Amino acid sequence: MHYEEQKQSLLREAERKRLIKDELDRQIAAKKERFAGEKSEDRMYDAMHEEHGKLLEQREKEKAQAVQDKIMNDKNSRDQ
């Protein structure tokens, strides 16, 4: 009888360890998936930020060109 109890105890302990390992594996997989999603979001944010910077730079160049064109038009008007 004592042998059966030991055997059952060992089986319960092995099952408990297996369940703990399965839960930890599940948590690690979820963490890796979450990390990959955050990394993807970071790349998308960086791309949007870079594109926004390029658009702002282009807009500034267009404004500067418009001012330059206006100055040239005014200068040409006076010269005529």
In total, how many domains does the chain have?
Answer: 1
**42-62 pLDDT, tens digit each:** 999 999 999 999 999 999 999
d(CA 60, CA 66): 10
**10-19 pLDDT, tens digit each:** 999 999 999 9
Residue 76's pLDDT is 84
Q: What's the whole-number mean pLDDT along residues 59-67?
A: 95
Domain span including residue 2: 1-80
d(CA 21, CA 60): 58
Share of the chain above pLDDT 70, in %: 98
Give this prediction's pTM. 0.56
